[in-house]
Every structure is written in structure tokens, then in C-alpha cells.
Structure 1
Amino acid sequence: MSSVVEAPSAEGDTASWAGHQPLPRVEQRSERTLSIWLEQSFIQCKRLLIGWARDPATTIQTIAYPAATLLMFRVVLGDSITSATGAPSIYGTVPMVMLVAAMAGSVVSALGFKVEKATGLLGRFWTMPVHRAAGLTGRLLAEAIRVLLTSLIVLAVGVCLGFRFWYGAAAGIAMLGIPIIFGIGFAVLVTALATITEGILLVQVIGVINSLLMFFNSGFVPVFAYPTWLQMTVQNQPMSTAIDAMRGLSFDGPIAVPLLKTVAWAVGMVVVFGYPAIRGYRKAAETGA
């Protein structure tokens, strides 16, 4: 005798082949919805953070470079600045190194963007059902988290060197938010430059910007130590305003005015370089150019 196994019909027998359970329905959601944008932004952020954690260059920029820079300033210039100004230099150098580390890390992120463009990864994301803005917003979110982690490391070294919060925990939390605001604005600027420049030229351009901001600010030496014709420029450049606000929150000095100037600088960078960054990101994803 022979037995014949009948295939399931298209409708009635499908459930019996699946253990008498109906097949689950897959919810179809448009990749343009707000929930998808937020979800995929977090996914892109996580992808970048994991990649940076596995990259030695990023680890050096995040941990070794800021700590070594702060120690160098403390050993070489700390006592001299304190003697000349009458105020502990650590309350200027800690904020300054936080901001410098935020800028330096943005260069590594921008070079990673160039690699993703060259390998076609951006193009593959563009052809998938992924929210068009998730790549850029995920990158900015990852930048914010990286700046926060770097600032915490710099702060830990600074505490070992004598840095203290004189106005409590709330002021300390507010102080840590300033490098994030500054870093997001600077990251938009760097992303815009990364879409229009080559890798070597990008490093050179950002290096010049970093050097000018780093050596002409109120954290390196007080504003009155600069030539008279340069003092207004130094006092109002974005690093100086951020440093002054952070110094005011941790030690002494004005808070509201430099904080508003810092926010204005960050918003200004986002407004001016936001559209070029978005347009360049889209062009890089669509054409690889």
C-alpha cells in the first residue's frame, strides 16, 4: 500500500502546517514616520559608537589625548597662569580641554564619514527603507554622547588636579551640558566641510580652526593678556564664551551672558552649516561623490 501526502491548500490548511496557529501579521510602517526616524537614529547612533569603541584612533582622541593635554597644561603653565591672574588656572584649562577634545573628536568622525562614503555604505543605506534623516541625526547624537564621555574623563582628571564645583551638583550638570551644545554645533560645521573636501584637506582645515580657537581663548590665558586690538575678538569667540560660562558655573564669574553667547554660536553654526551638511550628506549617499 502506498500513502499520499497532500499539500496544504492555499487557505484552510496553512494553519495546520503552522501548528494550528495563524501566521503573524507584519505591521507595515512607513520609513518617513517620526517613530521610525527616532528608532533608526538610535540604531545609527549605536552603530557609530560601537565602531568608535573598536577604533584605536578614536579611543586615543577620547581618552589619552585630552588627559595628556590637561596634564601638560597643568605642569607647564598652571603655576604661571595662577601667579599672573590670582585665580586657579585649572578652572580655565579643564573647560578648554573639554572643548578642544570635542573638536578633535569631530575630525575622526568626519574621516569615518569619508570612509563610509568611499566604501558605498552610505549609498546602501540610501537604497534601503531607512529614514533619510536618520543617518545624519544618528551621527549628531553619537557626537553628543562622545563629547559627554570625553568631558567626564577630562573632569575626572581635573578633579585629581584640584578642580571642584563650588555651586553644587546642579551647576556641575549644567557645565557638562555646555561642551555638548558646543560640540553639536561644531559637528554640523565639520560634517558640512566633510561633504565638500578631501580627507587630507579636511584635516588641514579643521586643524587650522582648532589651533586658532585653542590658542586665542580666555582659558589659555586671560583676555587682558592679549593685545588690546585682539581682546574683543578673543573674548567673543565661541570657545571663550563657553569657557567663561563653564568657569562661572564651577568657580567664579558671569554665567548668563557667556552662556547665551555660546548658545547663539551653536545655533548659528547649525543654521549656517545645517543645509550644506544635509545637502552634502544626501549627495554623498545618492552618488558617492
Structure 2
Amino acid sequence: MSETVESPRSPDRIFAYPAPDRVRSESSLGALWEHSRLQCGRLLLRWARDPATVIQALVYPALTLVMFRIVLGDSITAATGYPSIFGTVPMIVLVGAMFGSVVSAVGLRTERDSGLLSRFHTLPVHRSSGLVGRLMADMVRVFVTSLVIFAAGIAMGFRFTQGAGPTLLILVVPLVFGLGFSLMVTALATLPGRTPLVEIVSILCTLLMFFNSGFVPVMAYPSWLQPVVANQPMSCAIDTMRALAMGGPVAEPFLKTVAWSVGMVALFAWPAVRGYRRAAQG
């Protein structure tokens, strides 16, 4: 008697899933890493396929850099004695990080309103993976945006003159800055109701963008405003990146940048966690 061969399209073959080779608790660190990595990849793929996100995160900052270079470049160089591009490029890198966070937060609200976060919450995944994966995706976005802006800046005259170590460290500064800012925007995005998120954050970003040491030198502002401008978070990060690129004191502005980021993380981490959980439980 000939042996019957099972059809490759039989029901048993279709629903025969392989046995899991790695069984983890939903609350384990291994599950947190694996599930956060998947959430990060999902968000990066979604952003890459969304023209509005690409324009806001990459095209808009690059065009802003060109505009500032054309309008203010020579006048600031003449007033300060050093090329304005060393302040403008770091400023636009931070602007790209901030406005990209706004787009990410708007997407978070869309997922909350559509019920996608609630559906993720019912899956057997680590409860923190959604928020951690979103922060991971934001850090990747900030890094890619920084590379694009620095590349555009190099085409306009920006140079890394201090060697390999400072060049690598200059890419860390936007990540430090962006982590605190991303947590703040995430906490605002998960507030109940219809908080005017875009309007609030856009006003804040605009104020920071026009009152920092990268836009014009601190000495150009009124004397009563100079301490505020010199010590606001964007100025600290800009001064750090400028010193890493062209030389100068690094320790003080870098420590101020870290302090601002740690402060924002300490202030907004718990509201972001609670808000994300509330949005997911919807």
C-alpha cells in the first residue's frame, strides 16, 4: 500500500506553528528589549512611509538651515569674528529634534484615538514596551536628522576640527537633549481631552529657536535677557556642539545640557508613563 503524502495546503500544515525556542515572562528584561525593539521598528517604518513626517523631520530643518545661512550668515560672521555656520548648524539640529518630536506626539494621539494602543495593551507583551519603543524610535530619528543636517552644514562650510573623539561626542549631544524633550512632549500628548499640543509645543520651540546663542550671539540680546538666553537648554547644547566642532570650553555647557535633560526626564517620566498607560487602557 502506498503511503499517503500530506498536502502542503492541508489545515494541519497551515496552522502548525513551530514550538517557541525562547520562553520569556512578559515582565522580564528580555521581553522588554525584544518587544520594545519591535515597536521601535514599527514606528520607524511608519514614519519612513509618511511624507509629512519625512518633510517635518528632514526637509524642513534642512531648508531652515539654508534660509538662515542666506539671511543672517555674513552679518553674524562680521559681528562675531567667527563663521556663523558653527552656531547655526547645531541650532537647526536641535530644531529638527524638537519638531520631529511634535510629529511623533501627534502620531501617538492618533494611535490612542483609533484604539491601536488599546489593542496593543491586550497582547501578551511587556507593558512598558510601547513607551520604551517610542523613545528608542525618537532617538533613532534624532540621530538620522542630525546626520542629515550636519551633512548639509558641511556643504555650506561647517567643519569638525577637533578630531574623531569630539566629532563622535557632538552626535551624542542632540540625543541627550532630545531624550528629555521627547519625554516632555509624550507626557503632553497623553493628557486627557484635546489639549492643543501642536500649538503649545510650537510656541515653545519658536521661542527657544529665536532666543539662543546659535541664532545671534548672547551679547546681542538686552542685558537683562542675556542670562536667560545663555542658560536655556538650547543654548547649552549649541555651545557644547560649537566647542566640540571648532574648539573652546566643553565641560560647563555639556554639564548644563545633561542637567537640563536629566531634569526633564525626572519631571516628565512619571507623567509620561501614567499617561501612556491611561491612553492604552482607554
What TM-score does the superposition give when structure 2 sets the normalisation length? 0.92
1:175 aligns with 2:170: yes
> Please, which of 104, 107, 116 is the counterpart of residue 109 of structure 1?
104
> Please, which of 41, 47, 50 is the counterpart of residue 52 of structure 1?
47
Q: How far is the alpha carbon of 1:61 from its aligned partner?
A: 1.5
What's 1:160 paired with? Answer: 155
Q: Which has the higher mean CA deviation after the structures are superposed, 208-217 or 198-207?
A: 198-207
Q: Is the 8 A contact 1:114 1:199 kept in 2?
A: no
What's the secondary structure of 2:224's corresponding residue? helix
> Please, which of 140, 146, 152 is the counterpart of residue 145 of structure 1?
140
What's 2:88 paired with? Answer: 93
Distance 1:197 1:210 in 2: 22
1:275 aligns with 2:270: yes
1:76 aligns with 2:68: no
Distance 2:57 2:148 in 1: 8
**Structure 2 unaligned regions, length at least 5:** 5-11
Q: How far is the alpha carbon of 1:168 from its aligned partner?
A: 1.1
The one-character-per-residue Cα deviations of 1:245-280 (angstroms, maximum 9, x if unpaired) are 000000132200000000010010010000000000
| Equivalent residues in 2 for 1:202-281, closer than 5 Å | 202-281=197-276
Distance 2:32 2:128 in 1: 7
What's 2:7 paired with? Answer: none
Structure 1 stretches of at least 4 aligned residues deviating more than 3 Å after TM superposition = 23-28, 197-200
Q: How far is the alpha carbon of 1:28 from its aligned partner?
A: 3.5
Let me know the Cα RMSD of the aligned residues: 1.7
Distance 1:121 1:75 in 2: 44
What's 2:130 paired with? Answer: 135
Q: How far is the alpha carbon of 1:29 from its aligned partner?
A: 2.1
Q: Is the 8 A contact 1:188 1:269 kept in 2?
A: yes
Distance 1:174 1:189 in 2: 24
What's 1:67 paired with? Answer: 62
> Please, which of 111, 116, 120 is the counterpart of residue 125 of structure 1?
120
**Structure 1 unaligned regions, length at least 5:** 6-16
Counterpart residue identity of residue 31, structure 1: E
Question: Equivalent pairs: percent with the same residue?
Answer: 57
Distance 1:227 1:186 in 2: 27
What TM-score does the superposition give when structure 1 sets the normalisation length? 0.90
What's 1:10 paired with? Answer: none
Distance 2:22 2:80 in 1: 65
Q: Is the 8 A contact 2:58 2:96 kept in 1?
A: no
With over 3 angstroms needed to count, the CA separation of the structure-2 counterparts of 1:199 and 1:173, relative to structure 1, is farther
